């Protein structure tokens, strides 16, 4: 489907993907997702967009954001 030389950029709407996966009762394996796109072509960048309130002491999505940032995603809040 993809030419291996093709350049790919991944843009994820984090709020909608997170809510949909919870509503459907499954978890997203972001490591496999990233790996899958890396195998299909030259992955230029992977962005994960989400809203995050910086003043909050704790956010349930914070561990996911930290993990994504550490594992190759550019998190945009």
pLDDT value of position 60: 84
- Extents of the domains making up the chain: 7-76
Residue (of 9, 31, 11, 13) closest to 21 by Cα position: 13
- The secondary element (H helix, E strand) that includes residue 44 is strand 42-49
Whole-number Å distance between alpha carbons of 16 and 12: 9
Rounded to two decimals, the pTM is 0.86
Whole-number Å distance between alpha carbons of 44 and 54: 28
pLDDT digit string (tens) for the chain, length 77 residues: 668 789 999 999 999 998 999 999 999 999 999 999 999 999 999 999 999 887 888 888 889 999 999 999 999 98
Indicate the SS3 state at residue 75: strand
The residues that bridge with 28 in the sheet, in sequence order, are none
């Amino acid at each position: 489907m993809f030419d291996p030389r093709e350049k790919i950029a991944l843009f994820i709407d984090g709020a909608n993907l997170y809510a949909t996966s919870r509503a459907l009762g499954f978890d997203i394996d972001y490591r496999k997702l990233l790996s899958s796109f890396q195998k299909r072509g030259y992955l230029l960048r992977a962005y994960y967009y989400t809203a995050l309130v910086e003043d909050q002491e704790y956010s349930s999505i914070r561990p996911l954001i930290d993990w994504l940032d550490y594992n190759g995603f550019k998190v945009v809040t």
